[in-house]
Amino acid sequence: MQPPAKTSTPTPANQQALEDWLLSIMAFRPETEGKPWTFYEEVDKYLGPWGEDGYPIAYGRKYCILFSTDQELDANPAGKAWIHRTLILLQVALKDFILQRYREGTLGSLTEVEFRKAAFDSHPTAYTEGGLAMVSMLSVGLTLHVAGIPWREYLPWSKNFGATWYQVVVTGGMVVPRDIAILFTLTSGPAHSGIFARAMAMDRERNATEMALGTGMFNARSAIAAGRCDNVMLLDRFRRTLTIMQMPNESLATAARMLIATIDARRAYVQARYQREIKVDPSLYEIYKLFDPRGL
Residue type, 87: L
Q: Which of 74, 168, 91 is CA-nearest to residue 128?
A: 168
Mean pLDDT, residues 54-62: 90
Cα of 252 vs its chain's centroid, Å:
31
- Provide the pLDDT for residue 264: 92
Per the CB < 8 A criterion, the answer to whether 174 and 228 are in contact is: yes
Q: Please tell me which of 60-64, 83-87, 135-139, 252-256 the model is most confident about, judged by mean pLDDT.
A: 60-64
Identify the weakest region by mean pLDDT among 90-104, 121-135, 175-189. Answer: 175-189
Per the CB < 8 A criterion, the answer to whether 158 and 164 are in contact is: yes
Does the model's pTM come out above 0.85?
A: no
- Provide the pLDDT for residue 99: 95
**Residue ranges per structural domain of the chain:** 12-175, 180-295
Mean pLDDT estimate for the chain: 74
Rounded distance between C-alpha atoms, residue 285 and residue 277, angstroms: 9
Q: Which residues touch 47 (CB under 8 Å, ≥6 apart)?
A: 6, 56, 98, 107, 110, 115
- Provide the pLDDT for residue 67: 81
Q: For 142-173, how does the pLDDT look when each residue is reduced to its tens digit (9 = 90+)? A: 444 555 444 344 334 344 434 433 333 333 34
Is pLDDT of 113 > 50? yes
Q: For 244-261, how does the pLDDT look when each residue is reduced to its tens digit (9 = 90+)? A: 666 777 888 888 889 899
> CA-CA distances (angstroms) from residue 75 to 70, 83, 129, 151?
9, 12, 21, 21
Mean pLDDT, residues 62-76: 81
Residue type, 97: F
Question: pLDDT: is 59 or 205 the higher one?
Answer: 59
Residue 293, burial from CB neighbour count under 10 angstroms (0-12, 13-18, 19+): exposed
Q: Please tell me which of 135-144, 164-173, 180-189 the model is most confident about, judged by mean pLDDT.
A: 135-144
Residue 8, burial from CB neighbour count under 10 angstroms (0-12, 13-18, 19+): middle
Rounded distance between C-alpha atoms, residue 204 and residue 182, angstroms: 20
Q: For 7-31, how does the pLDDT look when each residue is reduced to its tens digit (9 = 90+)? A: 999 999 999 999 999 999 998 888 8
Strand (E) or helix (H) holding 91 = helix 77-103
- Provide the pLDDT for residue 130: 57
Per the CB < 8 A criterion, the answer to whether 21 and 3 are in contact is: yes
> CA-CA distances (angstroms) from residue 214 to 210, 249, 251, 252, 262?
6, 11, 9, 6, 15
Rounded distance between C-alpha atoms, residue 91 and residue 18, angstroms: 14
Per the CB < 8 A criterion, the answer to whether 236 and 267 are in contact is: yes
What is the DSSP secondary structure assignment for residue 59, as one 8-state letter? I
- Provide the pLDDT for residue 209: 58
Question: pLDDT: is 135 or 62 the higher one?
Answer: 62
Q: Which residues touch 63 (CB under 8 Å, ≥6 apart)?
A: 149, 150
Residue 207, burial from CB neighbour count under 10 angstroms (0-12, 13-18, 19+): exposed
Per the CB < 8 A criterion, the answer to whether 113 and 13 are in contact is: no
Q: For 211-252, how does the pLDDT look when each residue is reduced to its tens digit (9 = 90+)? A: 666 777 777 788 788 887 778 887 887 787 777 666 777 888
Rounded distance between C-alpha atoms, residue 247 and residue 202, angstroms: 16
- Provide the pLDDT for residue 131: 55
Rounded distance between C-alpha atoms, residue 290 and residue 288, angstroms: 5
Is pLDDT of 204 > 90? no
